[in-house]
Chains A and B, each alone.
Chain A
């Protein structure tokens, strides 16, 4: 079945440093979504990417969808302590009816 791999599993940075998490699917995706889960909280939707090669920005966050629609990345510029949490990608395979979550990247920040 469809698998979504996400790396790294953990990332610790100094405040102000950049952060990137990568997501790779074993199959071509129809769309990919990104969620953020704060410690002790629940996943909150950030964004959806649908088109091949799509790039979307939300302030300091940049999301990319690969040309082959099998990989995606989230890049945070100049991290702030409010960025702490676990970032999950979730992909839907073509013709599939469910999202498959990656394992998540847990971001911690040294102020």
Chain B
């Protein structure tokens, strides 16, 4: 089945130690998103790629970076994780930006713990 796959499911990192989360998709969707979701909160959009075009949200800290080497893969790099970055990180895809007539397909998420 076509899907969005995130690895790892759980990630523990130390304060200040760079960490990379990965996402792959077999849907061949043009848009890939990274969301941060903290407990009992809505997913918060960090940035998205529309094909190769990177779109950063204005309030996303510089500590968060992303790479999309090809259509199928997208990475989230946290350069110096702080305790406040502990959260669930959700990757999502859609055919068109904003999910218009094309809903978001989410991966299972990576739960990041910062010690």
Contact = CB atoms under 8 A, between A and B. Distances in A.
Interface of A: 30-31, 33, 35, 41-45, 48, 50, 88, 90, 92, 96-99, 101-104, 106
Contacts of B43: 43, 88, 101
Interface residues of B, number: 21
Nearest to B41: A103
B98 interface: yes
B14 to A, nearest CB: 25
Interface string B9-47: 000000000000000000000000000000011111100
A43 B104 contact: yes
Nearest to B107: A42
B40 A106 contact: yes
Contact of A102 (B42, B99, B103, B108): B42
